[in-house]
Structure 1
Amino acid sequence: MASNATEYIKHHLEFWNSAPGSGFWSVHVDSLSVSLLMGFLFVGVFSFVARNAKMENPGRLQMFVESIVEMVDTQVKEIFHAKSKVIAPLALTIFCWVFLMNAMDMLPVDLIPMAAQWIGHTFFGADPHHIYFRVVPTADVNVTFALSLSVLLYIIGFSIAAKGLGGWVKELFTAPFHASGPVGTILLAPANFALQMVELAAKPISLSLRLFGNMYSGELIFILIALLPVAFQWVLGAPWAIFHILIITLQAFVFMMLTIVYLSLAVEKH
């Protein structure tokens, strides 16, 4: 147990690092393991429902899954007007996976960290004070950047698939400013290329930091509430938990919607 509030907060905000002090060449084991677990949970549940789907008298789980699929499909049809077999499954995966990772923030603050400390001390003889486990992957900026960089690769891939490699490269140097002659095109090429790079860089940065900022602040508020006396924890924690359900869902929806919008822009000509 932490001796004071500062140590308590620091301990809860520390990642389980595979190689402490190694900088870039290390892995946040807790973020990676929980995100993979949520990914397998999503695939497992949706695969189970797909294999056991019924036309008549569908169960509640099937109806719930169908409502999610229908919602995502509606958004894709309204925003993405090109033909693609990838965009709808991609949007569905992003929404469900991000939502499940966000939802880990609804677990009691001390539940998983204390379980990790007990397992580490009981079975491996480790010092409980040096055992860390952060349970919300999307409160780790490395996870949100990895997700957004994956979306960036899709944006580039969709652009090349729709316009060809030559057409995409040409667009990098000829849009958004256009010139009537070759001299003007050459003169405007550096400015166009710079603006295109800014636009490409802004998309993953905005995607990742928006999700990270909202989930990190929510996690921190839960930690601060846990420092209060038990009676006040329920008074403040319950309303915040109810409101946080909206944040969890909204952030997953926003990440999905922006991905669809960016991919839609990627296949359109200026």
Structure 2
Amino acid sequence: MANTPVEYIQHHLQNLVFGSHPEKGWIIAHTPEEVKQMGFWSVNLDTLGWSIAMGVLFLWLFRKAALSASTKVPGFLQSLTEMCIEFVEGTVRDTFHGRNPLIAPLALTIFVWVFLMNSLKWVPVDIIPGLAHLFGAPYFKIVPTADPNGTFGLSLGVFVLILFYSIKIKGVGGFTKELAFTPFNHWALVPFNLFLEIIGLLAKPLSLALRLFGNMYAGEVVFILIALLPFWAQWVLNVPWAIFHILVIPLQAFIFMVLTIVYLSAAHEDHH
């Protein structure tokens, strides 16, 4: 798979990319150079595949919990799902100040889905890429949230909802007026207000995506660097770092969920 530490790190941080190459047509990239030459219409197959797989796992687990729900002594899965639902409901109740029945299910979906994608970081870094290499895949990165394409996809979905509810609740005129006359309520400062508000609006999906990506990517790099150490040193460092991620992984899912709720709550506030 790799002959040097540099090649090893590059191999584990490179996505399995399928796309249009200017000379070879539609291919799966086998070298970093081919990846760089891919056109706009390219797909990170591993990020997309693992994102879908974790989404399906989420639906299957919660459906199974719902079908096996009992009023008697609940099982482990039922207790776990009820804890997640109650936790998310409490967070939405404390954070969201509008009225929208979609917000709680959306927050639950985001929290559990992002948590499951983050949790793939607990899989030892060599197992899945090694299996993929045996089946002919040159690269294979299993943590979707360690790929900026994955986190920006999530944040852009949230951004679309922010714009949708801002216009739905306030109207096109009200939303435009809010951008034009905040923070300074004077027509002469409209260009300045628009500049500030549009920058602030665009910063929301950018901060959502980069915060999640930065934390997951940094953790993945540390796991890869530990894997380069001698076997005895790997266990000394890998176990504490994995235990530390017991906090980091759900925390990043929680932060992404809370910021989504806060942004959508602001979109539901009609100041006019």
Q: TM-score, normalised by structure 1?
A: 0.92
Hey, what does 2:48 align to over in structure 1?
32
Task: Output aligned runs, 1:83-162, within 5 Å.
Answer: 83-120=99-136, 131-162=138-169
| TM-superposed deviation, 1:6 | 0.9
The unaligned stretches of length 5 or more in structure 1 are 121-129, 180-184
Quick check: 1:6 aligned with 2:6?
Answer: yes
- Preserved CA contact (<8 Å) 2:169 2:270: no
| TM-superposed deviation, 1:175 | 1.6
Hey, what does 1:212 align to over in structure 2?
213
Quick check: 1:18 aligned with 2:25?
Answer: no
- Preserved CA contact (<8 Å) 2:16 2:44: yes
Take 2:260 and 2:234, find their aligned partners in 1: how far apart are those partners? Answer: 37
Take 2:64 and 2:181, find their aligned partners in 1: how far apart are those partners? Answer: 49
Task: Output aligned runs, 1:74-85, within 5 Å.
Answer: 74-85=90-101
Take 2:69 and 2:192, find their aligned partners in 1: how far apart are those partners? Answer: 54
SS at match of 1:83: coil
4+ residue stretches of structure 1 with deviation over 4 A?
none
Hey, what does 2:257 align to over in structure 1?
256
Take 1:256 and 1:177, find their aligned partners in 2: how far apart are those partners? Answer: 31
The unaligned stretches of length 5 or more in structure 2 are 20-34
Given residue 143 of structure 1, which amino acid in structure 2 is its aligned partner? Answer: G
| TM-superposed deviation, 1:51 | 2.3
SS at match of 1:18: strand
Take 2:69 and 2:99, find their aligned partners in 1: how far apart are those partners? Answer: 27
SS at match of 2:17: coil
Hey, what does 1:56 align to over in structure 2?
72
Q: 242-251 vs 168-177, which deviates more?
A: 168-177
Hey, what does 1:174 align to over in structure 2?
181
Matched pairs, number: 255
| TM-superposed deviation, 1:32 | 0.3
Query: What's the C-alpha RMSD, in Å, of the aligned pairs?
Result: 1.1
SS at match of 1:27: strand
CA deviations on 1:37-58 (whole Å, 9 max, x unpaired) are 0011001111121222112221
| TM-superposed deviation, 1:34 | 0.3
| TM-superposed deviation, 1:247 | 0.7
- Preserved CA contact (<8 Å) 2:148 2:209: yes
CA deviations on 1:68-88 (whole Å, 9 max, x unpaired) are 000000000011121101100
Given residue 255 of structure 2, which amino acid in structure 1 is its aligned partner? Answer: V
CA deviations on 1:148-205 (whole Å, 9 max, x unpaired) are 11111111111122212221122121222113xxxxx2x2221111111111111011
| TM-superposed deviation, 1:268 | 1.3
Hey, what does 1:245 align to over in structure 2?
246
| TM-superposed deviation, 1:243 | 0.2
Hey, what does 2:170 align to over in structure 1?
163
Take 1:98 and 1:48, find their aligned partners in 2: how far apart are those partners? Answer: 20
Q: Which has the higher strand share?
A: 2
Hey, what does 1:125 align to over in structure 2?
none
CA deviations on 1:206-237 (whole Å, 9 max, x unpaired) are 11101000000000000000011111100000
